[in-house]
Amino acid sequence: MDIPHERWRRIIPVAFVMYTIAFINRTNLSLALPDISRDLHMDAAQAGDAAGIFFWGYILLQVPGGYIAQRWSAKRFVSVLLVLWGGTSIACGLVTSWRELWGLRFLLGVVQGGVWPATLVLLAHWFPRAERARANAYWMLCLPVAMVISSPISGWILSHYNWRVMLMAEGALPFLWLLVWHRLISDYPQQARWISAGERDHLESTLQQEKALLASPKPEPYRRALTRPQVLLMVAIYFLANIGCYGFLFWLPTILDSARKFKPFWVGVLFAVPFVVTGIGMVVNSRHSDRTQERRRHVAVAYGGAGLALLAAVAAGQEHFLLAYAFITLASGGMYGALGPFWGIPTETLPPHLAGSAMGMINALGNLGGYFGPLVVG
């Protein structure tokens, strides 16, 4: 017998944990960056490059990843990527030079690159338009939750062991989650045994109607579709947002350490606090977006508020540390709060056969801001 809203309790949590692990493996370098820089003899610019080079690899599988997930299987594609990024993450803990670290961080970006568009394709197969901003946001809560959970733990490991142990221990997590992902995830409602026939028929009917509304009467050339002004504008917005987001994400622990000389554990705790506010902002903004069925203003207000908060944090400076920290906390909430409605736009405005690849391109080029942000700050 189907439990009401069972898909919310099954699809979202499994995808949530999967990408939480991905984000931990991507960002745990930031907490260890001071120690890694000393051991591998990196200056600030080299350290910023090591943190950001991930995103040059990250762009390679984005568009193909969305295409593969749409035409083949999001479930199987992510399963392959779980194995590959787990092995690469463990290898990062074995490096002996900054060149090796750069190479492995680039490779980690490549193998993680297809996960984001593949998961968005999966969610679009399970959640109609009226639910999609919430589904996206509840899944993307993994981004702040990864920081809240992992930062104190990573800080504790650094305090008691070293950065190599931290990277290898956290790099083993994808292998553990692979079994859960493979067992519990289905690509489409018709493939799931745990959903009732009534809800399955309702979902398939609703999604088919939405698909028909977006279908183009005349096939659009693939390249022209991916260079629509709407898609290019979303690339530009996401690129600029990621410059701000990752610029402070990778360097905030170092700033906290230099400003007050906190112990690693407390740096981890203070690093996690902004992401608690972030989670609240994501839920509130996405729920309101679904209730009003409006996306653009919910994105604009969240990003605009985040930008103003970052400027205020800079103005406060180290002379007013607590005030600057409070503004950074608010900025984090705005940056992530926009994500639910932002990623609802492509699947609600583009033909289904193009949406996966378009989301891949937006994420690929937009995430280059994740390279330039840490590099410019460094």
Q: How would residue 84 be classed by pLDDT, with cut points 50, 70 and 90? A: very high
Alpha helices per DSSP H over the chain: 6-40, 44-52, 54-58, 62-68, 74-92, 98-112, 115-124, 129-140, 142-160, 163-171, 173-184, 197-214, 222-226, 229-260, 264-292, 296-316, 321-337, 339-349, 352-366, 369-377
DSSP letter assigned to residue 72: I
Instruction: Give residue-wise pLDDT tens across range 125-143.
Output: 999 988 888 998 899 888 7
In degrees, to the nearest 5, what angle opens at C-alpha 134 toward C-alphas 129 and 136?
A: 85
Tens digits of residue pLDDT in 51-71: 778 878 888 888 888 889 988
φ and ψ at 61, to 5 degrees? -100, 5
Residue 219: its pLDDT value, please?
62
Nearest to 30 by CA among 174, 184, 155: 155
Token pair recorded at residue 284: 């509130």
**H or E stretch covering 187:** none
pLDDT above 80: residue 236: yes
Separation of alpha carbons 119 and 127, rounded Å: 12
- Cβ atoms of 277 and 332 within 8 Å: the answer is yes
Q: Are 342 and 287 in contact (CB under 8 A)?
A: no
Question: What backbone torsions phi and psi does residue 260 show, to the nearest 5 degrees?
Answer: -130, 0
pLDDT in tens, 304-349: 999 899 889 888 877 788 888 888 888 888 888 899 899 989 888 8
Rounded percentage of the chain residues whose pLDDT exceeds 70 = 90
Q: Enumerate the domain spans of the chain.
A: 6-213+222-377
What CATH architecture does domain 6-213+222-377 belong to?
Up-down Bundle (1.20)
Grade residue 262 by pLDDT with cuts at 50, 70 and 90. Answer: low
What is the structure's pLDDT at 252? 72
User: Which of 15, 64, 109 shows the shortest CA–CA distance to 358?
Assistant: 64
The DSSP 8-state label assigned to residue 113 in this structure reads: T
